[in-house]
Amino acid sequence: MKLMRLGPAGHERPVVRVDENHYVDVSDVVTDFDERFFGSGGMLGLERVVGERVAAGAVRPFAGERVGAPIARPHQILCIGLNYSDHAAESGMPVPDEPILFTKSPNTLVGPDDDVRMPRGATKLDWEVELGIVIGQRTSYLDSPEQAREHIAGYLVVNDVSERAFQIERGGQWAKGKSAETFNPAGPWLATPDELPDVMNLGMWLEVNGQRRQTGSTATMIFDPFVIVHYLSQFLVLEPGDLINTGTPPGVGLGMTPPTYLQVGDVMELGIDGLGAQRQTVIAPR
């Protein structure tokens, strides 16, 4: 299944994408795609409902409605840094021996086509196309990466927007450069694992103003999604609906010669095979 949320910000309703042009509204049986939904095993019942409605022809056309993030605000957004060896190299950092963990404020989550607002004082606004993982059940002290497969609800596209001056030059605290409002566009849909034959072979791309900046593949991850979920479970409890951003391939503005950063009015377009595409415009600070 491909889970989506449609409607104005703060008033999205849950739907399931049937194909490029149609969806099934499930807002009468599901309050939201949130911690309660994932933690209660709602995915199994939803699959039956969607199957029945598709068979009955109860599908609706997409009609230009705003697409929200496919999950409600999560308990936490966890991020893995330098998870592609070639991105570590362009950043001048060694390849990590263990996943590098930092957090991102949950209220950074926005829809895939919502504007990205430049924060006050920003000078080095950057882009990062990433594969996101959504946790499907409470997860702690997993025995193996293989066991982690059972704890993943699905995957989605995220843009881990970053302000490098805040991140690197203000005490080296990554969370400060990652947590401004609108800094985590997500979606357009959450694909359940069965929708992706091989999550470790997905093409990734990002363009700024029509110029290709990032071209990569999940095949070059240092730590795959199952290793990441298993690893994190040894240090903290993952809750249903939690989001994990798994790192970006090379091509970020920080790694360009000379470094190149986003300006007000710039347009980012990005996507991952099987997970759809996003488009954001950078807007001025408040």
**Mean pLDDT of all residues belonging to the chain:** 96
In this structure, how many other beta carbons lie within 10 angstroms of the beta carbon of residue 144? 10
Cα distance between residue 72 and residue 217, in whole Å: 27
Per-residue pLDDT at 221 exceeds 90: yes
Per-residue pLDDT at 44 exceeds 90: no
Cα distance between residue 110 and residue 115, in whole Å: 9
* Helix residue ranges per DSSP H, 221-270: 225-233
pLDDT of residue 245: 98
Query: Where is pLDDT greater, at 91 or 233?
Result: 233
Per-residue pLDDT at 276 exceeds 90: yes
pLDDT of residue 96: 87
Cα distance between residue 77 and residue 187, in whole Å: 14
Per-residue pLDDT at 10 exceeds 80: yes
Which CATH homologous superfamily contains domain 72-283?
Fumarylacetoacetase-like, C-terminal domain (3.90.850.10)
Cα distance between residue 213 and residue 85, in whole Å: 17
pLDDT of residue 189: 98
When pLDDT is averaged across residues 6-34 and rounded to a whole number, the result is 97
Q: Is 198 exposed, middle or buried (0-12, 13-18, 19+ CB in 10 A)?
A: exposed
Q: Are strands 116-117 and 276-283 parallel, antiparallel or unpaired?
A: parallel
Could you tell me what percent of the chain has a pLDDT over 90? 91
Domains of the chain, residue spans: 2-67, 72-283
Cα distance between residue 160 and residue 131, in whole Å: 10
pLDDT band at 6 (very low <50, low <70, confident <90, very high): very high
When pLDDT is averaged across residues 212-233 and rounded to a whole number, the result is 97
pLDDT of residue 225: 98
Instruction: Express each pLDDT in 56-80 by its tens digit.
Output: 999 999 999 999 999 999 999 999 9
